[in-house]
Structure formats: structure tokens, C-alpha cells
Amino acid sequence: MQPEWREQVALVTGGSRGIGRAAAARFAKAGAKVAITYRSRKPEAEGLVEEISRAGGEAMALQADFAESTAPALAVEAVVKRWGRLDILVNNAGLTRDTLVMRMSEADWDIVLQTNLRAAFLCSKAALKPMLKQRYGRIVNVSSLAGVAGNAGQANYSASKAGLIGLTKSLAKEVGSRNITVNAVAPGFIATELTSGLPPELLERARQAAAIQRIGTPEDVAPAIVFLASPDASYITAQVLGIDGGLPI
């Protein structure tokens, strides 16, 4: 049985900006207690916590560099220590190091896979301890259209996001019997800091190719994340929801 929103605790990684910030704000608006992690953007993270607190909610910000193997478990431990449980995990933290494969260094490959994929594995593994004990949990992985279709100049990023889809489907089969669902969203071109460095002509081509001819916003993605963690999605697992305005693949 799903707890009421006011009883639930959500952890959103990379929650100081973009899609993570929008999702954290929506969880808080629904009534959940929210923890967000940030790597370097302390003012933005603390600003969101203050906003949630002023609105009557509960939130906390945790510094975490998910390139470090110990960071995921420490983040989960801090959340459980404060609130005694963890119901929702959103694996959103990510970065890019874009270049063609022929020019890509091993370091650029490794840091993207470590932050975008390995950290999601480690966060999920740590979060499953309280979720299995509760016999309840929701994990939502933020993948990407690049993980479904690939993207030139983003082999490392695309591989990490494709790996998230594989992780989603496999983990869902492992934990479904314990009332834990695992799903993913695959945003297309969303106006965030990660896409701000893309060539304007690429964004314009994407806009024109989409059925809904505009670039998306974090607020277009956040409701889907919250839905997949809601009572209405209790029979949905191992799915990948595209949020791309109808871009052809």
C-alpha cells in the first residue's frame, strides 16, 4: 500500500537545477519531504530548500560528487537518518563531455559513465535497502532521447543514457515482487544548462522536426517523473517514457 504523499520521502540527485530542480519542487508541492543533491551549486540548492520551507514543506540539500563511489550510499544514509525512510529515488545527476569518438579521451568517457550510469546503479543499490524493508519504493531514472537514438558527438553521454534504460528494465524485474517499481523518462531537447552549449542550428532543426514545434522545458518533464512515483502508476514498471515533443527517431 502506498503511503500518503505527506508520509513519503524523495531523493532527487542533481536537484539544484534543470529537470531535477523542477521535479523536486513538484514532489514538495505534492507534500513529500524532499532531499536534493548538488555537486557544486550550493547557493542554488540551498535556495530551493528555502523556497520549499517557506511554502510549508520539508527539504534538505546534500553535497555529493557522484564521480566518487562512496557518494551515493552516503547521500541515501543521510536521508534515512533524517527522516527514517526513503520512498522515491530520482536518478537525475548527470554531465556531458561532448566530442567525436576519435577525439574523446578515456577520462572524458570515464567521468560521464561514472556520473551518469555508475552513480545511478550505486544510488539504486543503496536506496533498495530501505525500500525492500518497507516493501515499497519508486525509482525513476532520467535517461535521454540520446540513449534511445544516439547522438553524434555524444557517444559517452548516449552510452550512459542507454545503459540507464537497461538498468531500468533489469532492476524492475528484480524488485517488482516487493512493490518497488523502476521506470525511466527519456527527454528530448530540453532547455537546460546541459543543452545550452549545443549548436543553435541543431536546436532549430530539432524544433522544426518535432510534432510540437518548440524546445521543451524542465517543467514539461517533472510532471511525468512525479506521475511515475504516484499511486496512479502502481502497475507501471520497466517502462521508458519519451518526453520529446514527438521527435522522430
For residue 19, give the C-alpha cell: 529537470
157 is catalytic: yes
Whether the CB-CB separation of 60 and 35 falls below 8 Å is answered with yes
Catalytic residue among 38, 136, 157, 235: 157
- The amino acid occupying position 185 is V
DSSP string for the chain:
-PPPGGG-EEEETTTTSHHHHHHHHHHHHHT-EEEEEESS-HHHHHHHHHHHHHTT--EEEEE--TTSTTHHHHHHHHHHHHHS---EEEE-------B-GGG--HHHHHHHHIIIIIHHHHHHHHHHHHHHHHT-EEEEEE--HHHHH--TTBHHHHHHHHHHHHHHHHHHHHHGGGTEEEEEEEE-SB-STTTTTS-HHHHHHHHHHSSS-S-B-HHHHHHHHHHHTSGGGTT--S-EEEESSS---
- N residues, the chain: 249
Neighbours of 199 (CB within 10 A): 9
Tell me which residues are annotated as active site.
Answer: 157
